[in-house]
């Protein structure tokens, strides 16, 4: 068996992304990708078992890029302001192409959820970093039972629920957070 070429995998994903952007997600298929890449369909199957696996890889890649862009774009003075900006940044991404990609993952939804959990873990780490930068947060609130990590996990669950339900804002969550940490 030949060794897989990561650059070809990246090329196949790039071509898939181009097809999705120009022709729509439904136009993404193994045959179309192979044709654009100038390879046999079997070659594409060496990298991806099916269309769903390609869409899952695109979704994961999209979210990693989005989290990197978010880190660069968000730089408020307080933790709550940062959380506010994170919510609206993610909301905009979901309303654009991220939502289409995520909704296309019907056949691999469980696998997609597992990979998205890893993305949420990255986001939780970023949120903790924003908390650490806010000197106004009371240090004495953290304990063995009420840790920063568990609090951020609680925030993420609520943030994801608000995004999923297309809430217009996070005003109530911000009020709760301020009453707890300041």
The pLDDT tens digits of the residues spanning 143-163 come to 999 999 999 999 999 998 999
**Integer Cα distance of 137 and 80 in angstroms:** 10
What distance in Å separates the CA atoms of residue 85 and residue 73, rounded to the nearest whole number?
Answer: 9
Give the DSSP letter string of 27-63.
G--HHHHHHHHTS-HHHHHHH-SSHHHHHHHHHHHHH
Instruction: Return the higher-pLDDT residue of 31 and 98.
Output: 31
| Residue-level pLDDT at 178 | 97
- Greater model confidence, 14 or 106: 14
pLDDT in tens, 62-104: 888 888 999 999 989 899 999 999 999 999 988 876 556 666 6
Residue 2 reports pLDDT greater than 60: no
Tokens of 73: 């774009």
Among 13-27, 28-42, 142-156, the least confident range: 13-27
Stretch 28-51: mean pLDDT, rounded?
94
């Amino acid at each position: 068996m030949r060794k897989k070429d990561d650059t070809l995998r990246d090329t196949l994903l790039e071509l898939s992304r181009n097809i999705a952007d120009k022709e729509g997600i439904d136009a993404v298929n193994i045959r179309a990708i192979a044709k654009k890449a100038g390879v046999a369909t079997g070659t594409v199957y060496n990298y991806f078992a099916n269309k769903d696996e390609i869409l899952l890889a695109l979704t994961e890649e999209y979210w990693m890029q989005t989290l990197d862009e978010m880190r660069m774009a968000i730089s408020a003075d307080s933790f709550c302001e940062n959380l506010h900006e994170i919510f609206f940044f993610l909301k905009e991404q979901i309303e654009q192409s991220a939502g289409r990609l995520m909704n296309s993952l019907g056949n691999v939804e469980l696998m997609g959820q597992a990979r998205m959990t890893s993305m949420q873990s990255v986001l939780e780490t970023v949120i903790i970093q924003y908390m650490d930068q806010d000197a106004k947060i009371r240090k004495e609130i953290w304990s063995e039972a009420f840790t920063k990590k568990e609090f951020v996990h609680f925030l993420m669950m609520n943030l994801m629920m608000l995004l999923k339900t297309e809430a217009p804002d996070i005003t109530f969550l911000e009020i709760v957070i301020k009453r707890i940490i300041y």
